[in-house]
Amino acid sequence: MSYVGFGGEADEVDVSGYLSGLIGLPRADRDLLSYAINEMLAEKGLVITGAQYSQDGATGKTWVADGLYRLLVASNEVSTGHPFRPRSGRPAEGDAGRPEDRAGFLAHEARRCDALSRSGLLDSGAEERFDRITAKARRRFGTSSASIALITDDRQVIKSVVGPIGQDLPRDVALCSRTVEADRTLVITDARSDPDYSDHPLVAGSPGIRFYAGHPLTSADGWRIGSLCVIDDRPRAFTPADARDLRLLAAQVQLEMWTGEPPG
Protein backbone atom coordinates (compact mmCIF):
# COMPACT_ATOMS: atom_id res chain seq x y z
CA MET A 1 0.00 0.00 0.00
CA SER A 2 2.86 2.38 0.78
CA TYR A 3 4.45 1.64 -2.59
CA VAL A 4 1.21 2.34 -4.48
CA GLY A 5 0.71 5.48 -2.43
CA PHE A 6 4.07 6.77 -3.70
CA GLY A 7 3.00 6.18 -7.31
CA GLY A 8 4.04 2.57 -7.91
CA GLU A 9 2.16 0.87 -10.75
CA ALA A 10 3.26 -2.78 -10.47
CA ASP A 11 0.56 -5.07 -9.09
CA GLU A 12 0.76 -7.26 -5.99
CA VAL A 13 1.92 -10.36 -7.87
CA ASP A 14 4.81 -8.50 -9.50
CA VAL A 15 5.83 -6.82 -6.24
CA SER A 16 5.85 -10.07 -4.27
CA GLY A 17 7.71 -11.75 -7.13
CA TYR A 18 10.39 -9.04 -7.03
CA LEU A 19 10.74 -9.11 -3.25
CA SER A 20 11.21 -12.89 -3.34
CA GLY A 21 13.75 -12.75 -6.17
CA LEU A 22 11.54 -14.31 -8.84
CA ILE A 23 11.36 -11.43 -11.33
CA GLY A 24 12.89 -8.03 -12.02
CA LEU A 25 11.15 -4.65 -12.01
CA PRO A 26 12.05 -1.41 -13.83
CA ARG A 27 14.49 0.79 -11.95
CA ALA A 28 11.84 3.40 -11.07
CA ASP A 29 9.67 0.76 -9.42
CA ARG A 30 12.62 -0.72 -7.56
CA ASP A 31 13.47 2.70 -6.14
CA LEU A 32 9.85 3.39 -5.17
CA LEU A 33 9.75 0.08 -3.31
CA SER A 34 13.02 0.90 -1.55
CA TYR A 35 11.63 4.30 -0.58
CA ALA A 36 8.40 2.78 0.76
CA ILE A 37 10.31 0.17 2.76
CA ASN A 38 12.71 2.68 4.24
CA GLU A 39 9.85 5.02 5.19
CA MET A 40 8.12 2.14 6.97
CA LEU A 41 11.33 1.21 8.83
CA ALA A 42 11.84 4.82 9.91
CA GLU A 43 8.22 5.12 11.04
CA LYS A 44 8.60 2.05 13.24
CA GLY A 45 11.98 3.20 14.55
CA LEU A 46 13.72 -0.01 13.57
CA VAL A 47 17.51 0.29 13.55
CA ILE A 48 18.30 -2.18 10.76
CA THR A 49 19.80 -1.90 7.30
CA GLY A 50 17.25 -0.57 4.87
CA ALA A 51 16.66 -1.12 1.17
CA GLN A 52 19.21 0.42 -1.15
CA TYR A 53 18.51 2.64 -4.15
CA SER A 54 19.81 2.04 -7.67
CA GLN A 55 20.91 5.67 -8.19
CA ASP A 56 22.99 6.17 -5.04
CA GLY A 57 26.20 4.76 -3.68
CA ALA A 58 24.59 2.54 -1.05
CA THR A 59 26.72 -0.44 -0.14
CA GLY A 60 26.28 -3.59 1.87
CA LYS A 61 23.87 -6.47 1.49
CA THR A 62 20.20 -5.77 2.01
CA TRP A 63 17.21 -8.05 1.85
CA VAL A 64 15.79 -5.88 -0.93
CA ALA A 65 18.69 -5.09 -3.23
CA ASP A 66 19.28 -3.56 -6.63
CA GLY A 67 21.30 -6.75 -7.22
CA LEU A 68 18.09 -8.74 -7.63
CA TYR A 69 17.63 -7.53 -11.20
CA ARG A 70 21.26 -8.09 -12.14
CA LEU A 71 21.01 -11.58 -10.70
CA LEU A 72 18.12 -12.47 -12.97
CA VAL A 73 19.99 -11.25 -16.04
CA ALA A 74 23.57 -12.45 -15.81
CA SER A 75 24.96 -12.57 -12.27
CA ASN A 76 25.75 -15.54 -10.10
CA GLU A 77 26.76 -13.76 -6.91
CA VAL A 78 23.59 -14.39 -4.93
CA SER A 79 20.85 -16.99 -4.79
CA THR A 80 17.73 -15.34 -3.46
CA GLY A 81 15.24 -18.18 -3.74
CA HIS A 82 11.53 -17.57 -3.28
CA PRO A 83 8.76 -18.96 -1.11
CA PHE A 84 6.62 -20.68 -3.71
CA ARG A 85 8.97 -23.08 -5.44
CA PRO A 86 11.46 -25.42 -3.81
CA ARG A 87 13.66 -27.58 -6.04
CA SER A 88 10.80 -29.96 -6.83
CA GLY A 89 8.86 -27.09 -8.41
CA ARG A 90 5.89 -27.51 -6.11
CA PRO A 91 4.87 -25.97 -2.78
CA ALA A 92 7.05 -27.25 0.05
CA GLU A 93 5.86 -30.23 2.03
CA GLY A 94 3.68 -28.97 4.83
CA ASP A 95 2.70 -25.89 2.81
CA ALA A 96 0.49 -27.69 0.30
CA GLY A 97 -2.50 -27.12 2.56
CA ARG A 98 -1.88 -23.39 2.85
CA PRO A 99 -4.07 -21.67 0.25
CA GLU A 100 -1.95 -18.49 0.20
CA ASP A 101 1.21 -20.44 -0.72
CA ARG A 102 -0.50 -22.49 -3.39
CA ALA A 103 -2.27 -19.44 -4.80
CA GLY A 104 0.99 -17.50 -4.88
CA PHE A 105 2.77 -20.31 -6.67
CA LEU A 106 0.02 -20.63 -9.29
CA ALA A 107 -0.09 -16.86 -9.89
CA HIS A 108 3.65 -16.61 -10.41
CA GLU A 109 3.78 -19.73 -12.56
CA ALA A 110 0.99 -18.38 -14.76
CA ARG A 111 2.96 -15.13 -15.28
CA ARG A 112 6.15 -17.05 -16.02
CA CYS A 113 4.47 -19.29 -18.60
CA ASP A 114 2.77 -16.28 -20.17
CA ALA A 115 6.16 -14.57 -20.55
CA LEU A 116 7.50 -17.67 -22.30
CA SER A 117 4.49 -17.82 -24.60
CA ARG A 118 4.76 -14.12 -25.50
CA SER A 119 8.43 -14.56 -26.38
CA GLY A 120 7.45 -16.61 -29.45
CA LEU A 121 10.35 -18.99 -28.82
CA LEU A 122 8.14 -22.05 -28.52
CA ASP A 123 6.67 -21.47 -31.98
CA SER A 124 9.78 -20.61 -33.99
CA GLY A 125 11.49 -24.01 -34.00
CA ALA A 126 15.24 -24.45 -34.30
CA GLU A 127 17.15 -21.26 -35.13
CA GLU A 128 20.73 -20.92 -36.35
CA ARG A 129 21.37 -17.90 -34.12
CA PHE A 130 20.91 -20.09 -31.04
CA ASP A 131 22.70 -23.09 -32.54
CA ARG A 132 25.81 -20.92 -32.96
CA ILE A 133 25.87 -20.22 -29.23
CA THR A 134 25.31 -23.82 -28.15
CA ALA A 135 28.11 -24.89 -30.51
CA LYS A 136 30.36 -22.25 -28.93
CA ALA A 137 29.44 -23.51 -25.44
CA ARG A 138 30.25 -27.09 -26.38
CA ARG A 139 33.65 -26.06 -27.74
CA ARG A 140 34.45 -23.84 -24.76
CA PHE A 141 33.79 -26.54 -22.17
CA GLY A 142 34.74 -29.60 -24.21
CA THR A 143 31.56 -31.41 -23.26
CA SER A 144 29.70 -33.95 -25.33
CA SER A 145 26.60 -31.73 -25.52
CA ALA A 146 25.25 -28.22 -25.00
CA SER A 147 21.64 -27.12 -25.21
CA ILE A 148 19.12 -24.35 -24.71
CA ALA A 149 15.99 -25.58 -22.98
CA LEU A 150 12.67 -23.78 -22.45
CA ILE A 151 10.58 -24.76 -19.44
CA THR A 152 6.80 -24.79 -19.87
CA ASP A 153 4.29 -25.65 -17.15
CA ASP A 154 4.86 -29.36 -17.68
CA ARG A 155 7.69 -29.94 -20.16
CA GLN A 156 11.25 -29.16 -21.12
CA VAL A 157 11.33 -28.08 -24.77
CA ILE A 158 14.75 -28.10 -26.45
CA LYS A 159 15.26 -24.93 -28.48
CA SER A 160 18.82 -25.79 -29.57
CA VAL A 161 21.10 -28.77 -28.99
CA VAL A 162 24.57 -29.70 -30.17
CA GLY A 163 25.63 -33.24 -29.29
CA PRO A 164 23.83 -36.48 -28.34
CA ILE A 165 22.38 -35.40 -24.96
CA GLY A 166 19.36 -33.10 -24.99
CA GLN A 167 15.71 -33.89 -25.66
CA ASP A 168 12.18 -32.81 -24.84
CA LEU A 169 11.23 -34.27 -21.46
CA PRO A 170 8.56 -34.05 -18.78
CA ARG A 171 9.38 -31.08 -16.58
CA ASP A 172 9.66 -33.18 -13.42
CA VAL A 173 12.57 -35.10 -14.95
CA ALA A 174 14.48 -32.26 -16.64
CA LEU A 175 17.63 -30.99 -14.95
CA CYS A 176 17.17 -27.63 -16.67
CA SER A 177 13.93 -27.24 -14.74
CA ARG A 178 16.01 -27.38 -11.55
CA THR A 179 18.21 -24.61 -12.95
CA VAL A 180 15.20 -22.37 -13.60
CA GLU A 181 13.89 -23.03 -10.10
CA ALA A 182 17.27 -22.54 -8.38
CA ASP A 183 17.86 -19.03 -9.80
CA ARG A 184 21.62 -19.54 -10.04
CA THR A 185 24.18 -21.52 -12.00
CA LEU A 186 23.47 -25.15 -11.14
CA VAL A 187 26.62 -27.30 -11.26
CA ILE A 188 26.79 -31.08 -10.78
CA THR A 189 30.39 -32.19 -11.23
CA ASP A 190 29.75 -35.92 -10.69
CA ALA A 191 26.07 -36.79 -10.56
CA ARG A 192 26.67 -40.46 -9.76
CA SER A 193 28.37 -39.58 -6.47
CA ASP A 194 26.02 -36.68 -5.65
CA PRO A 195 23.36 -37.84 -3.15
CA ASP A 196 20.84 -35.37 -4.59
CA TYR A 197 21.15 -36.73 -8.14
CA SER A 198 22.62 -40.24 -8.03
CA ASP A 199 19.15 -41.82 -8.30
CA HIS A 200 17.88 -39.40 -10.94
CA PRO A 201 16.59 -41.33 -13.99
CA LEU A 202 18.84 -39.40 -16.39
CA VAL A 203 21.84 -40.32 -14.24
CA ALA A 204 21.05 -43.89 -13.19
CA GLY A 205 19.62 -44.71 -16.63
CA SER A 206 20.01 -43.40 -20.17
CA PRO A 207 21.78 -41.16 -21.18
CA GLY A 208 23.92 -41.63 -18.06
CA ILE A 209 24.60 -37.97 -17.27
CA ARG A 210 27.60 -37.42 -14.98
CA PHE A 211 28.30 -33.69 -15.42
CA TYR A 212 25.81 -30.84 -15.75
CA ALA A 213 26.19 -27.06 -15.59
CA GLY A 214 23.31 -24.77 -16.46
CA HIS A 215 22.51 -21.07 -16.07
CA PRO A 216 18.94 -19.68 -16.14
CA LEU A 217 17.66 -17.56 -19.02
CA THR A 218 15.08 -14.84 -18.46
CA SER A 219 12.51 -13.07 -20.56
CA ALA A 220 12.98 -9.35 -21.20
CA ASP A 221 10.67 -8.59 -18.26
CA GLY A 222 12.62 -10.79 -15.85
CA TRP A 223 10.84 -14.15 -15.73
CA ARG A 224 13.03 -17.25 -15.73
CA ILE A 225 11.93 -19.22 -18.79
CA GLY A 226 14.79 -21.54 -19.66
CA SER A 227 18.41 -22.56 -19.32
CA LEU A 228 21.68 -22.76 -21.23
CA CYS A 229 23.49 -25.92 -20.16
CA VAL A 230 26.51 -28.08 -20.93
CA ILE A 231 26.34 -31.82 -20.27
CA ASP A 232 28.73 -34.75 -20.33
CA ASP A 233 28.74 -38.47 -19.61
CA ARG A 234 31.98 -38.08 -17.65
CA PRO A 235 32.58 -36.18 -14.40
CA ARG A 236 34.31 -32.83 -14.81
CA ALA A 237 35.66 -29.97 -12.71
CA PHE A 238 34.04 -26.54 -12.99
CA THR A 239 36.08 -23.49 -12.02
CA PRO A 240 34.99 -19.92 -11.23
CA ALA A 241 36.30 -18.97 -14.70
CA ASP A 242 34.05 -21.65 -16.18
CA ALA A 243 31.07 -20.25 -14.29
CA ARG A 244 31.85 -16.75 -15.57
CA ASP A 245 32.08 -17.93 -19.18
CA LEU A 246 28.83 -19.88 -18.94
CA ARG A 247 27.07 -16.76 -17.63
CA LEU A 248 28.51 -14.70 -20.48
CA LEU A 249 27.24 -17.24 -23.02
CA ALA A 250 23.84 -17.21 -21.31
CA ALA A 251 23.82 -13.42 -21.63
CA GLN A 252 24.40 -13.82 -25.38
CA VAL A 253 21.42 -16.15 -25.57
CA GLN A 254 19.28 -13.60 -23.74
CA LEU A 255 20.30 -10.79 -26.08
CA GLU A 256 19.14 -12.95 -28.97
CA MET A 257 15.89 -13.67 -27.18
CA TRP A 258 15.24 -10.02 -26.41
CA THR A 259 16.43 -8.26 -29.55
CA GLY A 260 16.89 -10.84 -32.28
CA GLU A 261 20.19 -9.11 -33.07
CA PRO A 262 23.69 -10.54 -32.55
CA PRO A 263 25.46 -9.12 -29.47
CA GLY A 264 28.00 -6.38 -30.14
* Each residue's pLDDT tens digit, 135-160: 999 999 999 999 999 999 999 999 99
Give me the pLDDT at residue 229, please.
97
Look over the chain and give the mean of its residue pLDDT values, rounded to a whole number. Answer: 77
Is the whole-model pTM more than 0.85? no
Mean pLDDT of the region 177-183: 85
Mean pLDDT of the region 152-176: 93
Mean pLDDT is lowest, of 19-33, 193-207, 243-257, for 19-33
Mean pLDDT of the region 213-230: 90
Beta bridge partners of 147: 161, 229
Percent of the chain residues topping a pLDDT of 90: 43
| pLDDT over 50 (residue 125) | yes
Handedness of CA 43, 30, 64, 110 (dihedral sign): positive
Mean pLDDT is lowest, of 58-62, 193-197, 242-246, 249-253, for 58-62
